[in-house]
Structure 1
């Protein structure tokens, strides 16, 4: 009888704790979502005003309504691509945060179990705000267990919701240990230690390939744009030189023939820009794959690489044109 009363009391405490933590989490989540929505609205308004001003200046300078329309439309499309990419990256970052805080969560749960708490209460007490956004998933698991679901089923559903292969495999390992009749607190503690070791190994591997990442970044952001700028300037200078020579009668036998260059300098210019952008996109994916083991991790470098590479290209091209014009007239 006393055991039943104690069990009922523990369950009541667990429900109270769950309700309190759930209320705090929902209030915090509501504030974060509201702040993020207002921030995105402000960014869109400022971007729209800025693009209207840029398009108006472009139209005044070129008097070309079609190009101005395409400029504005292209900028809007790029903005929505940015929003979509940012959303996907945020989701990926949330999963990474969960993976990093998962060892601490199961270690804390193990400590709570050794302190004599029931599984449901130990799990709910472990849902600290420091583990956000994992705390929401922990509370959902606690809710499922309190309503009568098996702990293995609740954990499996948690693994499916998080969409992390590492957490899913860890949960499968814990469930296998539970079904084989092992001590849950010891199992959780050992799993936590193994996850921490794996995270440490991954970080050390990332530091070992740092030189490769720096080399790729420098080659794509600085080296390649400099070479493209030099080649595009040389094509323009040679085209102008050969255009003046082509009309002159040459009486000396030469091992080569000077003819007009059929490729326009504008084509070379736009080809360089397109190739630089494509190269930056692929380089950012390679950086993510080399440093973190996932192409997605490199998407955050994409915009930075493109901006730096194009800036280097235009600045170096301007200096080279100025130098060659002053040297050769």
Structure 2
């Protein structure tokens, strides 16, 4: 009992605040979420999150990676010298080597992910509210058509419009029951039929209902066969609602087309990222004549393109199918969620460091002449933390300082074979196989001659 009293008091104060300060629904469903989204982005920026790592940080990461590869190569050379010394019967001098600890500096270049989450926070409440409002509006319009039909039947029985509205207010009229009761109470208190009906129209909030209420009011004041006019009006309103439903059903095909188009874009970018771009990036800068091509993060660019296309594509769907951009926010939210999951899964595999173990099974430390492919392929083995093979996983291959190499997918046994072509300069080349944030390396020694 006390709970009901508290709820009534709370509703009363909420109504007073809404009327006094003219608070609209959009202030709560759009204003507050947008403010929360901006605060999320601001906090992320203050915490050091960026769209791209700072220039100094990226160069430091490159230097750290080069130092790690150099250390691995020196360890390999030392192991080979120790093995040759053991074969000759010599005892190598004992030397203490300090363990090399690689401290990985994780850059906070994930502000674009945070912006996606913040955008969803900003638009999802408003999209849900607009969807529910439109759904309830359709119910009220259908119920008002039934109300006109019942009112015409009462007037055919000799009841005037005012008494007809009062009589119908005692019955269940579905979504407009409260509005009809308020109109009937207003008439009982002495307000005019026109004023009460216009209040009911305002509470229903439909342009279609407002148009037909004007017809009802004019018919009530002009006289004549009002019952037949109300009956024809109710039939006309039902026909209009039926036409609107048919139009929306016909326009749904465009929704399907937009969703399929977004899926096709994701598939095409996945093919580019896994097949074409790794091959182009592995060809080498000298052959393509482009500086810095291998350093361009195409996957991140595709991620931005797909998410932006999902957001604006949803707005276009709302404008085409429902006539208002605000009804497209729900499609934007759905497309962004689906696209984000697909992109993170396919284009941006967020593998955690240590999730995979990548080792060179064979083909390591081969000697060759520059510009020629290796006689034997380098085979990498990819396993998970439990030592199980990881089949069907994309492995990005790179060769430094230059050369031609192609990325590939792991086989059923978790292995992937690659036959790189090193550059023409003499020296040591590093082949790196990367899955997520885990990587494994192999070396190629290029000589002037065998």
Q: What is the TM-score of this pair, normalised by structure 2?
A: 0.49
Answer yes or no: is 1:241 the counterpart of 2:278.
Answer: no
1:227-256 deviation line (CA, Å, top 9, x unaligned): 2223344575146314x453xxx7xxxxxx
Alignment map for 1:78-117 (pairs within 5 Å):
78-79=120-121, 81-117=123-159
Determine if the alignment matches structure 1 residue 260 to structure 2 residue 310: no
Q: Which residue of 1 aligns with 2:259?
A: 217
**Can you list the C-alpha shifts for 1:167-192, whole angstroms capped at 9, x where unaligned?**
11121222232333243322221111
Question: TM-score, normalised to structure 1's length?
Answer: 0.64
Match runs of 1:109-258 below 5 Å: 109-127=151-169, 128-132=171-175, 134-220=176-262, 222-233=263-274, 236-238=277-279, 240-242=281-283, 244=284, 246=286, 257-258=288-289
Cα pair distance change 1:320/1:102, threshold 3 Å: farther
Give the structure 2 partner of residue 45 of structure 1: none
Summarize deviations over 1:281-307 as a string: whole Å, max 9, x none: 333333334444444444333332222
Could you tell me which runs of 5 or more consecutive residues in structure 1 were left unpaired when the two chains were aligned: 1-25, 31-54, 251-256
Cα distance in 2 for partners of 1:280, 1:84 equals 17
Structure with the bigger percentage of strand: 2
Q: For 1:62-119, what per-residue CA distance to the aligned partner results, in whole angstroms no more than 9, with x for missing partners?
A: 877x789998898577446433443343333322221222211111122222234443
Distance in 1, Cα, partners of 2:291 & 2:322: 50
Structure having the higher helix fraction is 1
Q: Return closer, same or farther for 1:159/1:271 CA change in 2, 3 Å cut-off.
A: farther
The one-character-per-residue Cα deviations of 1:122-161 (angstroms, maximum 9, x if unpaired) are 22443444522x2111111111111111111222222233
Question: Which of 326, 339, 343 is residue 309 of structure 1 equivalent to?
Answer: 339
Alpha-carbon spacing, 1:115–1:180, altered in 2? closer, same or farther (3 Å): closer
1:275 paired residue number:
305
Q: Cα gap change, 1:298/1:68 in structure 2, threshold over 3 Å: closer, same or farther?
A: closer
The aligned length equals: 265
Return the alpha-carbon distance in structure 1 between the equivalents of residues 105 and 234 of structure 2.
64
What is the distance in 2 between the residues matched to 1:264 and 1:205? 50
CA contact 1:239–1:261 (8 Å) conserved in 2: no
Structure 2 unaligned segments of length 5 or more: list them.
Answer: 1-6, 12-43, 50-103, 350-391, 397-406, 410-415, 419-450
2:316 to 278, 281, 286: 286
Q: 98-107 or 229-238, which moves further after superposition?
A: 229-238
Which range moves more in the overlay, 74-83 or 300-309? Answer: 74-83
Asked whether the equivalents of residues 285 and 292 of structure 2 are also in contact (C-alpha less than 8 Å), the reply is no
Asked whether the equivalents of residues 183 and 196 of structure 2 are also in contact (C-alpha less than 8 Å), the reply is: yes
User: CA 1:236–1:71 in 2, change beyond 3 Å: closer, same or farther?
Assistant: closer
Q: Distance in 1 between matches of 2:105 and 2:147?
A: 61
From the CA coordinates, give the structure whose radius of gyration is larger.
2
Instruction: Give distance in 1, aligned partners of 2:250 and 2:186.
Output: 43
CA contact (8 A) 2:315 2:327 kept: yes
* 3-state SS in 2 of match to 1:111: helix
Do the aligned partners of residues 195 and 294 (structure 1) sit closer, same or farther apart at CA in structure 2, a change above 3 Å counting? farther
